[in-house]
Amino acid sequence: MKQWQAKFLKWKTCVFTPIYGSSLIVVLLIFGQQASSLWISLLTYQTHQKINQALTIQNEEENLLKGLVREEKAILTTVNHQANTLVEDNLNRLYNYLQDQPQHLQKLDKIKFIYESLRASLPSSYAIKHTYAGEIRAEINNLIELQDQLIFEYKNWLQQLDKINTNINLISTILILLGVSLHIWFLHERIQIPLRKLTTMGKMWRDENLEPQFCSATTEISDLAQLIKDITKEASDRQQQAQVKNQQLEEMILALSHDLRTPLIATRSTIDGMLKGAFGPINDNWQELFEDYRQANEDLLKLIERLLDISRYENGQKNHLRSDQLCWQKIFDKVISLVKVNDHQKTLNYQYYISPNLPTVYGDELEIQRVVQNLVDNAARASEPNQEIVLEVMNSGNAEVKVAVRDQGVGIAPKDQEKLFHRFIQGQSRRGRSGLGLYLCRQIIEAHSGTICVESSLGKGSTFWFTLPVTTSKTVDQSENNLWNKK
């Protein structure tokens, strides 16, 4: 018993139970309408058949009357008159038609009896024959009147059927519309409103506000809400754990960077002193070895400096940024000079172009120079010997200037482009560093309220570009720089 009660309760709280009920009502109403229409159509067809039969009988009766009138005239004027077979044929057909109408059959029997009496009174006087003929006409007229009355009743019945059919269709249509409205109302109350509430709750849960509880009279939506809440809570817990681990890792990296920076600087000073002969002369072999040590030490110091810079930018510490009026020719000259030293003897061709009448842009010149140097250094490492690297700054509209660095290297695959500006990500053709350079570039440009992006096709080179907002309407006349400078 309890099992059946549980099943009934589950069925009662099912989200689709009232919808199933309203759908069944609508289907039954439509079925009832069609059944009643079919039944009325059948009755209408039968009534039409009866009217046609009554009209046929009436036509036969009229023919009988006409035939008897002609025979009456012949009987009244002729002593030895032969029987008219047409009248007898009409009588026989009427007997066949009126088999299911006893009242009409009685009338027809009486007409036949009088007709036979008239035939038998041929030798009689004119008065007797005229009497019989008058009675026959009267009876046939009565029979015709009965048929008229019957046809009138059939036609009235047809009108009644038509009214019944119209009323049934009207009532059933109204009921069907009510059923459909009920169905829509159930859909609105049982599905749309709970789902709308669930969406609102989901948005609150997404914002990590898991206190609101979702209550619904339907089991399915309540179960779905609980499942979504559990998934959201689990995802939120995982995200919080990941954030805690990332924060701990960043703090550890920051602490290690600070701890490593001091001994590395001291090591660099010691190696520089040894290379300059502060501890006595050294031969060529030791000179080369100390140069390698110094370069490795310098790479570690740069990595630590980048980690410290990234940590500073991620923590929102932008107060260290200066507001210098950027001189693009000065920046490009410095960058090209620095990159040429480390271009691995590729003898690359560096060019830059500065558009005339550029608007003034303010920013931290050293930080912007770091970005440009990083992009040019990446382009140099991706280029083959004797290839060209182009630096360009132009007015991109929307109160922005655009700085681009183009190379003729192998290009970057589309799947790698999306992740280039994230931590520890490098393009397939640009490996060999820590993977933090472009990430730091993005932090610097975003700190200046700009954007940075890349456009590249495999085999056709790459273009890294960034934009900086114009902070004043004053323009800098750099028309003297409107030429290609070969360095």
Q: Do 128 and 27 fall into the same domain?
A: yes
- Rounded to whole angstroms, the Cα distance separating 41 from 56 reads 23
Highest mean pLDDT out of 261-265, 285-289, 365-369: 365-369
- 229 within some domain: no
In total, how many domains does the chain have? 3
On whether the CB atoms of residues 269 and 285 are closer than 8 A, the answer is no
Tokens of 166: 């119209």
Considering the domain architecture, whether residues 328 and 280 belong to the same structural domain is answered as no
Identify whether residues 59 and 188 lie together within a single domain.
yes
Least Cα distance to 410 among 445, 379, 369 occurs for 379
Looking at the structure, tell me whether residues 304 and 365 fall in a common domain.
Answer: no
> What residue has token string 């049982």?
190
Instruction: Tell me which of 293, 314, 335 is where a domain ends.
Output: 314
Q: Can you tell me the mean pLDDT for 283-293?
A: 79
3-state DSSP assignment of residue 350: strand
User: How many residues can be counted in the chain?
Assistant: 487
Range from 135-149, 278-292, 458-472 that averages highest in pLDDT:
458-472
Residue 452 · residue 439 · CB < 8 Å? no
Residues 270 and 174 in one domain: no
Token pair listed for 297: 């030490």
Q: How far apart are CA 109 and CA 373, in angstroms?
A: 128
Same domain, 183 and 293: no
pLDDT tens-digit readout, 399-424: 899 999 999 888 888 888 878 887 76
Confidence band of 124 (pLDDT split at 50, 70, 90)? low
Among 50-64, 239-253, 263-277, name the one with the lowest average pLDDT.
239-253
Confidence at residue 112, expressed as pLDDT on a 0 to 100 scale: 75
Closest among 429, 286, 305 to 370, alpha carbons compared: 305
3-state secondary structure 236-269: HHHHHHHHHHHHHHHHHHHHHHHHHHHHHHHHHH
Task: Say if residues 454 and 463 touch (Cβ distance below 8 Å).
Answer: yes
**Least trusted range by pLDDT, from 1-5, 275-279, 352-356, 435-439:** 1-5
- Is the same domain home to 352 and 437? yes
Name the token pair of 197.
Answer: 């509430």
Q: How confident is the model at residue 146 (pLDDT cuts 50, 70, 90)?
A: confident
The set of residues, in sequence order, having a beta carbon less than 8 Å from that of 439 and lying 6+ positions away, is 310, 421, 422, 423, 424, 425
CATH of the domain at 393: 3.30.565.10
State the angle between helix axes of 437-447 and 284-314 in degrees (0 to 180), rounded to the nearest 10. 40
Q: Specify the range with the lowest mean pLDDT, choosing from 177-186, 193-202, 377-386.
A: 193-202
Predicted pLDDT of residue 111: 75
DSSP codes of every residue in 314-344: HTT--TT---EE--HHHHHHHHHHHHHHTST
The reported pLDDT for the residue numbered 315 is 67
Q: Residue 309's domain spans which residues?
A: 237-314
300 plus 353 within the same structural domain: no
Percent of the chain predicted with pLDDT > 90: 11
Whether 117 and 25 share a structural domain: yes
Interval 310-369: pLDDT, tens: 776 766 655 667 888 999 999 999 999 888 877 656 788 999 999 988 888 998 888 899
- Same domain, residue pair 276 and 332: no
What 3-state DSSP class applies to 79?
coil
Cα gap 323→315, rounded to integer Å: 20
Residues 6+ apart with CB under 8 A from 435: 423, 424, 425, 426
pLDDT at 485 exceeding the cut of 50 = no
**What are the residues facing 454 on neighbouring strands?**
464
Do 332 and 399 belong to one domain? Answer: yes
**Rounded Cα–Cα distance for residues 64 and 93 (Å):** 10
- Are 371 and 439 part of one and the same domain? yes
User: Is 447 contained in some domain?
Assistant: yes
**CB 455: neighbour CB atoms within 10 A?**
15
pTM of the model: 0.47
More confident: 66 or 401 = 401
Instruction: Centre a 10 Å sphere on the Cβ of residue 400 and count the other Cβ atoms it contains.
Output: 17
Query: Residue 297 in contact with residue 264, Cβ under 8 Å?
Result: yes
The pLDDT tens digits of the residues spanning 78-113 come to: 544 455 566 677 777 777 777 777 777 777 777 777
pLDDT, residue 342, reads 72
